[in-house]
A and B are shown apart, each in its own frame.
Chain A
Amino acid sequence: MDDELTDEQRLLHDTAVRFIQSELPLAATRELHEDPRGYDEKWLARTAELGWYSLLVAEEHGGGSISGHGLIDLAVVADTIGRFVQPGPFISMNVVGAAVTADGTAEQRAALLPGMVAGEVVATWAPFDSTGKWDGGHGLTVTADGDEIVLRGTRGFVQDALTSDVLCVVGTLGGAPVQVLVPTRTAGVDVEPLTCLDLSRRMGEVTFDARLPAAAQLGGAGADTEVALEHQLQIAVVLACAETVGALDTMFEMTVEYSKGRVAFGRPIGSFQALKHVMADVAVFLEGCKAVATESARVVDAGGDDAAEVVSMAASYIDERATEIAQQCLQIHGGIGFTWEHDLHLLMRRARSTTSLWCDPVWHRERICEVHAL
């Protein structure tokens, strides 16, 4: 999306790149691979100063975007994060920030948003069950008990669960989906860390046998959670697509450069049609990914009627293409691509895990049919 930026977006992009290059370039992220937390708190606070968690948050709580198109701007940041495989709870923080802004009660907004915008409160979203299913909260039961609610069950694939202060948990109350804002220190909330494909990402499985005030339900009793979940999903997919495009673009740049420098049979390998034709196909796929990622950000930001269909088309397209692009980049790199020292696998890990989390093509394609009442 680099060549279609407005001046403001260009500034946002350049600021993010400069910050990353000085604070946490790709090589430096390697030093965090063994860190169970995955990122440094001070670093998180500084990313917050750049506006990484504020663009979808209401102005009265320290958020807002100058352009009035917060999600489009945020997609620019997501692209940069993908390029440099940055750690941290970027997608989940923004989804929860948008959710609390849109649906939170006045108390919830005041309690959470200023801290999230400043990077002092880390909030993450927990919509999946322990098999990774987007299940409308079915793996977690919420029952009312007087002024309190009781949560029992599991949420899987919760990003940065270990370092989060608050989990925005999807469960069911009386068979209907609800979201509950659960402080991670609540008694009966247990986080079990998972081993992640993406070495710069941390995830956990969270089990609940916990009791909270009824006011912990996002938006209070009677909130329209179906609509909220759809909107949150759309934000997550838009950011996931943008982040993936950033990673793919970097991977492909590396691959083209490598093929120009590597010599075999007396020629740079990039001169062989067997390879250059593969790269031409990848260039087309990448162009398609950029086009659909940009469009999905535009449509969701504008609240288009067709946003659900658009994000599912973008997700399914990018998921498939991301796989193809990554596989071909590895193929062209040959043996060197299998070494731990080479950065290619870091980008491949990021692209694959982001798409698998949010862009499941089988699920999204079925949804496209449903949107069209087929």
Chain B
Amino acid sequence: MSEIDGLDDYRTEMRAWLAANLPARVPGSSTLDVDGLTPEQLADGRAQQKQMYDAGYVGITVPTEYGGQGLSEAHQRVWIEESAGYAVPLPAGVASMVTMGVVLPTLLANATEEQKRAWIPRLLRAEDIWVQLLSEPAAGSDLAGILTRATRTGDTWVLNGTKLWSSGATYADYGICLARTDWDVPKHRGLTWFKVPLHDERVTVRPVRQVNGSLEFCEEFLDDVVVGDDMVIGPVNGGWAVANSMLVFERGVGHIEGPRAGGATSQRELAPDLVELARQRGTTGNAAVRQLIARAHAEDWAHELLTQRVTARLTSGSANPASAALVKLSMGLRNPERAIAAVTIAGRLAVAWREAGSSGERAATGFFYGRQFAIAGGSNQIQRNVISERLLGLPREPSEDKDKPFREVLRDAQGWGSADR
């Protein structure tokens, strides 16, 4: 990489700046967990990202006209390599990651020149934190089946509907929101993206308590939220292509966070969570328990290798982009098995415990959360469709809704299974 002029100097300067300005990352900790963040903590986080921006380390590859550094992918790789050991500020946790990893590239690829000049510098400086307003209570895997509507009224759009599973929306300023703008065309052809101000009085953000007690995810109610044409992202009724480009970025973020979230062991310590449970129960000598531990350990290793293999080919461009689904499904298959092994070894330790955060409690929580990546970000079943249709070239299932106006799709679904069908 040193063939690019100045890259070594760039690295040296960066190294010095990192050492002087950022704390080292505590192994096993994550800057993504930001439950119960106070307004002061959030403001501090924003200030830290602003400081990093001022030093030139936010938006490294973003063009200078949008407030970025206008540098190469090679410079970005230097940042990834050098910053790996540091707690890089993510003021709003997952929401900040989504802002930088999903919303930013989506805007760069789809927003107008004017929008990019106005919005992206604020985003880079953490003045604006964005979330995705994507899934709904009645539409998850079938994203194109959303019911939130944007109605043209005079010169403006009026949005109504409910969005769900937006990470960290209580901390965010804007949502990138998918809404239906035409009900009389097939579902993929009537969708449009909007920028929605979350501080608007007609938007209600409500945290959703999850099975582990976390309040990271939110639900948003949009009641006659009015936005202008300047808030439309991409073409009206051309939202599905934008959505597809966004999902590619989203899977990229999934790669970065997935294995850690799933409890993989990059240092190849023998499945530490499982060994700890076995030690507490005195079962490290039990042959069946040893098999479970060693199997989980080998599975962790294999998943990491699979991820590296696929990622390398995606990065070099030699792989079908749909290959990302192999990584996602691998994780979605492994994590639940891994969590079940923990519950099996934990036995009664995962039924009741003295101290919060005990390994028994973690195993108990894992009994639900092992399935997190089997569902979120495209369920196992969706990944299986992607792999079989786009990688293996298997024919698609006949579709009930692909060529039918969406209004009729909804009507016909009501009669599904009745005698006249």
- Chain A interface residues toward B at CB < 8 A: 3-4, 256, 259-260, 267-268, 270-273, 276-277, 279-281, 283-284, 287-288, 290-292, 294-295, 306, 309, 312-314, 316-317, 320, 361-362, 364-366, 368-369, 372, 374
Contacts and interface: CB of A to CB of B under 8 A. Distances in A.
Contact of B388 (A3, A276, A292): A276
Given A270-B394, A366-B294, A369-B293, A291 B302 contact: yes
B291 A291 contact: no
A295 B393 CA distance: 28
Interface in B371-409: 381, 383-385, 387-389, 391-398
Interface stretch (B55-63, B181-189, B209-217, B326-334): B326-334
B287 A366 contact: yes
Given A273-B385, A290-B309, A365 B291 contact: yes
Contacts of A366: 287, 290-291, 294
Contacts of A3: 313, 318
Nearest to B279: A374
A267 B306 CA distance: 33
B275 interface: yes
B387 A284 contact: yes
B387 A283 contact: yes
B290 A280 contact: no
Interface of B: 268-270, 275, 284, 287, 290-291, 293-295, 297-299, 301-303, 305-306, 308-310, 313, 318, 326, 329-330, 333, 381, 383-385, 387-389, 391-398
B74 to A, nearest CB: 23
Contact of B326 (A284, A317, A364): A284
Query: Which of B309, B381, B392 gathers most chain A CB within 10 Å?
Result: B392
Given A271-B395, A279-B392, A374-B284, A292 B384 contact: no
24 contacts: A260-B393, A270-B388, A272-B397, A273-B385, A273-B397, A276-B389, A276-B392, A276-B394, A277-B388, A279-B394, A283-B387, A283-B391, A284-B326, A284-B329, A284-B387, A287-B306, A291-B308, A313-B297, A364-B294, A365-B294, A366-B290, A368-B270, A369-B270, A369-B294
A273 B303 CA distance: 24
Nearest to B298: A313
B305 A292 contact: yes
B333 A284 contact: yes
A248 to B, nearest CB: 14
Contacts of B394: 256, 259-260, 268, 270-271, 276, 279
B298 A368 contact: yes
Contact of A277 (B381, B395, B396): B381
Contacts of B318: 3
Contacts of A256: 392-394
B392 A283 contact: yes
Q: Is the interface of B mostly helix, strand, loop or mixed?
A: helix
A259 B389 CA distance: 12
Contacts, number: 129
A362 B406 CA distance: 54
Contacts of B392: 256, 276, 279-280, 283
Given A283-B326, A372-B297, A374-B270, 20 more contacts: A4-B309, A260-B393, A277-B384, A280-B384, A283-B388, A284-B330, A287-B306, A287-B310, A288-B330, A294-B309, A312-B294, A313-B297, A320-B295, A365-B295, A365-B298, A366-B290, A369-B290, A369-B294, A374-B284, A374-B293
Contacts of A313: 297-298, 301-302
A277 B383 CA distance: 9
B294 A316 contact: yes
B388 A362 contact: no
B302 A288 contact: yes
A295 B391 CA distance: 23
Nearest to B285: A374
A368 B265 CA distance: 15
Contacts of B270: 368-369, 372, 374
A295 to B, nearest CB: 5
Contacts of B388: 270, 276-277, 279-280, 283
Shortest Cβ-Cβ A-B pairs, 3 listed: A365-B294, A276-B388, A280-B384
Nearest to B299: A317
Contacts of A273: 381, 384-385, 397
A320 B306 CA distance: 16
Nearest to B313: A3
Query: Which of A267, A277, A290 gathers most chain B CB within 10 Å?
Result: A277
A271 B396 contact: yes
Query: Which of B269, B326, B385, B395 gathers most chain A CB within 10 Å?
Result: B395
Nearest to B305: A291
Contacts of A260: 393-395
A294 B302 CA distance: 11
A280 B325 CA distance: 10
Contact of B387 (A272, A280, A314, A317): A280
Contacts of B305: 288, 291-292, 294-295
Contacts of A4: 309
B329 A292 contact: no
Contacts of B310: 287
A213 B234 CA distance: 84
